Amino acid sequence: MSETALASPGVKKESSGVTSSTLKIIAIVTMFLDHFAVVFGDELYEALPFLNANGFEVLRVIGRLAFPIFAFMIAVGATYTSNIYKYMGRLLAFAIISEIPFDLGLYATPLNEVLHETEHQNVFFTLFLGLMSIFVYEKLKDFNLEFLAFLFLLFAAFAAENLLKTDYGAMGVLCIFLFYVFVNAPVGVRQVGIVLTAVLISVMLTFSPYIETAWTYSGREVHLYNFDISARVNTVELYAAFSSLLLLFHKGVKGRKMNRWFFYIFYPAHILLLWAVHTVIFK
């Protein structure tokens, strides 16, 4: 969900490769499947018990591709946007707009206050903090004060993980910043950096205690991950690394023109739709 992922500003058109539009579509489709599995998880388990062992996890695995793609497109968008202030403003605005749909869809309450004794906010806040870290870095670089930007990056990561407790937390913010650094690096470094960043976030989230094994949805415990409590391992997260196979082929091609607002609105709208359908059918 970046300027390129959401609005595709100024991206080069002459190169060949996977287009920004293609990446955007892949990201929203995989995200939709992931959230469908979350909202309808209990019903899938009860109606199709054989999915417990394999099929249900497929949706979760596919969903792991979404965030690295969105993070990458934030980096590309920050590179090409003509007005980063408006870009940050849109991300923050939709972070606020998306919070009630996010809480309804994932926690069945309009304003989630407690989840395992902690608050939890939607991914737009993560994207906003990642973009702000890039903004601060570029501003301070003009004064040869890049080292101060890394202090801000640490603060933004801390805020995502411990203050706002956003989706993907500190690793999400770091992932966005690293993608930005490598997107603007020489070709060889760029390719290696993209792969390493995708692998890094998948490994760190795999072993992160931040990802919970389950949460309560409408009074029922919905299991979201293949989770080994004794080892604190979320094995599903490892599949996020496969996103690099798509990102490596992005050559800065804009692709088919699409309405910029569709990709902003899709996030809160699809979660709200899933919640409404679930409520009507199973309440």
C-beta separation of 146 from 137 below 8 A? yes
pLDDT on residue 111 = 67
What is the span of the domain harbouring residue 149?
Answer: 3-282
Residues of the chain below pLDDT 50: 1-14, 53, 114-118, 210-232
- Rounded to an integer, what distance in angstroms lies between the CA atom of residue 275 and that of residue 269? 10
∠ CA 82-87-93, rounded to 5°: 160
Q: What are the start-end ranges of the H helices in the chain?
A: 20-39, 41-47, 55-63, 66-80, 84-107, 123-141, 146-158, 169-183, 187-206, 244-247, 260-282
- pLDDT tens sequence across 156-213: 999 998 888 898 999 999 999 999 999 999 988 999 999 999 999 898 887 765 444 3
Q: Considering the chain, what percentage of its residues have pLDDT values greater than 70? A: 77
**Other beta carbons less than 10 A from residue 123's beta carbon:** 21
- Rounded to an integer, what distance in angstroms lies between the CA atom of residue 265 and that of residue 242? 26
- Rounded to an integer, what distance in angstroms lies between the CA atom of residue 59 and that of residue 36? 8
pLDDT on residue 12 = 46
pLDDT on residue 42 = 74
- Rounded to an integer, what distance in angstroms lies between the CA atom of residue 99 and that of residue 111? 8
- Between the alpha carbon of residue 20 and those of residues 74, 98, 194, the distances in Å are 11, 23, 16
Average pLDDT of every residue of the chain: 81
User: In sequence order, which residues have a C-beta less than 8 Å from that of residue 249 and are 6 or more positions away?
Assistant: 17, 18
pLDDT on residue 231 = 40
- Rounded to an integer, what distance in angstroms lies between the CA atom of residue 8 and that of residue 27? 14
pLDDT on residue 60 = 84
pLDDT on residue 170 = 92
Task: Report how many domains make up the chain.
Answer: 1
